[in-house]
Amino acid sequence: MKEAPGTRDYDWWLLVILAAICTIGVLEIYSATHGSALAGMHMKQIRWIAIGTVLMLVLSRLDYHVIMDQAPWLYIAGLAALVAVLAVGHTRFGAKRWIPVLGEFLQVSELVKLIIIIVLARFFAEVRSDELSLQDLIKAGLLVGLPLALILKQPDLGTALVLMPMLIVGAFLAGLQWKHATVIVVIGILMLPVGWHFMKPYQKERVTSFLHPEEDAKGSGYQVLQSKIAVGSGGFWGKGFGNGSQNQLGYIPVRYSDFIMSAWAEEQGFKGVLVALGLYMALLLRLVQNAQRAKDRAGMFLVMGVTAALGFHVLVNVAMVIGAMPVTGIPLPLMSYGGSATLFVFLAIGLVMNVRLRRFVN
């Protein structure tokens, strides 16, 4: 029925970009941790990248239609996992997000992000009309709302927020009507105070310290200030690899993970930022191109779901590093240290590869 896709059909450019981002990430993790108690972290990251690459290749061989066929079951499994993690999950850093898998702690919500991409792609692919009806929009909203509520309960505001751009981009491509969009935006603004009411104290603190950084010099306001000092003091040319004082002396908070862009910007300067952001732009545009060339709407939605998730990660993380957005704990894809996050990116790219490999197959 189908020919097996050949190796030349892989998106080699995408792989090169991925490899480049992973490389600067590993280098900066090394620079940020080599002199501290965390030394050796870059090797662990390399291991995650290797595992991720294997999983990506495996996932790319499995026809995405087959995967999307199982969307309802995946959705139920995802919800079950979220409930399970709330019930028996492992608490770290004050939140229940982790379950032990093969001796490592994995964040369930990362897997759920992947599932939601698949579920939304299936849902929007089944919408046959050019314009998205209000009924379908509400259905899609509920589909996302349920896991979102469960993730907020952990609490993990960052991951919960990532589900929103997936929904928005999906709906937009499925033919969202402008009048609906306007109504949603208005309702969203009106709901802000209600959202504030349901926020955890530390989340509120992050928002207030973002709005008034000088009032919280040691909390998250301090983190953002130190990050800005790191970025700014890097100047155009940077302080050199392993020479960033903010990085090496530990002034940058979680410099190997959420704030790795800060460490990179300090040591490599604006020119390094140009390279890093250039690579992310290339990655995202390449993903969009893959969506444009997808064989069908299902593939297109799948790829754009991934694009929305990664794009949101990049935007929120980098904006946080330069103090333009509050601290939300969203890592920078493939540069920040982290097992679950890295695996999520590779699996997501695996889906993209899957779509690409099958674009000429009928």
Partner 1 sequence: MSYWFRNDSRLPQERLAAASYVIVGMLAILLLGFWKLQVVDSDKYGQLAERNRVRSIPIIAPRGRMLDRDGRVLVDNYPSFSVLLLRDDPAEIEKNLPGIAEGLGLSLDDLKEQLNNTRNLPKFQPIVIKPEASPADVAFIESHRADIPLLEMLMVHRRRYLPGGFMAHASGYVGEVSEQQIESSNGRLRPGDIAGKSGLERQYNDLLVGTDGMRRVIVNSVGKEMGRLSQQEAIPGKQIQLTIDYDLQQIAEEGLAGKKGAIVALDPRSGEVLAYVSRPAPDPNDFAIRISKEQWQRLNEDPDRPLLNRGIQAQLAPGSTFKIVMATAMLESNVPPENFTAFCPGAATFYGRQFKCWVYGHGSHGVVNLHNAIVHSCDVFFYNVGQRMGIDRISKYAKLLGLGARTGVDLPSEDTGLVPSEEWVQRVFHRKWYPGETISVSIGQGAVTVTPMQLAYMAGGLASGGDYKQPHLLKDAQTVGEKHVELSEDTVEQVTMGLYGVVNEGGTAGAVRLQGIEFCGKTGTAQTIGADAKARYGKGEKKFKDNAWFVGFAPRRNPEIAVSVLVEEGGHGGVAGAPIARDIIRAYYDKKNKKNQGQITAEDQRYNLKKGDEKQTAEASKAILKPEEAVAILPTSEKKKASAE
Residues interacting with partner 1, by CB under 8 A?
65-66, 68-69, 122, 125-126, 128, 130, 169, 172-173, 175, 214, 217-218, 226, 228-236, 245-246, 249-251, 265, 269-270, 273-274, 277, 280-281, 284-285, 288, 291-292, 294-298, 300, 304, 307, 311, 314-315, 318-319, 322, 324
Distance separating alpha carbons of residues 324 and 338, to the nearest angstrom: 23
Shortest Cβ 194–partner 1 spacing (Å): 28
- Do 221 and 213 form a contact (C-beta atoms < 8 A)? yes
CB nearer partner 1, residue 81 or residue 291: 291
CB of 227 to partner 1, least distance (A): 10
Whole-angstrom distance, CA of residue 77 vs CA of residue 56:
21
Q: 206: which strand partners?
A: none
Q: CB nearer to partner 1: give 152 or 298.
A: 298
Closer CB to partner 1, residue 120 or residue 300? 300
Compute the least distance from the CB of residue 283 to partner 1, in Å: 10
Comparison of 119 and 230: residue with beta carbon closer to partner 1: 230
CA distance 104 to 185: 40
| Residue partners of 106: CB distance under 8 A and separation at least 6 | 98, 99, 100, 339, 340, 343
Rounded to a whole number of angstroms, the minimum distance from the CB of residue 203 to partner 1 is: 22
| Lookup: tokens for 23 | 């490389």
Q: Which is nearer to partner 1, 89 or 311 (CB)?
A: 311
Which of 7, 59, 35, 73 lies closest to 347, judged by CA? 59
Which of 329, 326, 319 shows the shortest CA–CA distance to 210? 326
What does the block give as tokens for 180?
A: 């609906």
The residue among 11, 3, 19 whose CA lies nearest residue 292 is 11
CA 189 from chain center: how many Å? Answer: 24
d(CA 85, CA 149): 13
CB 85 within 8 A of CB 96: yes
We find the least distance from the C-beta atom of residue 261 to partner 1, in angstroms, to be 9
Shortest distance, CB of residue 210 to partner 1, whole angstroms?
14
Report the residue number, 180 or 297, with the smaller CB distance to partner 1. 297
81 versus 298: smaller Cβ distance to partner 1: 298
Q: How far is the CB of 66 from partner 1 (least distance, A)?
A: 6
Taking alpha carbons only, the member of 113, 189, 185, 110 closest to residue 144 is 113
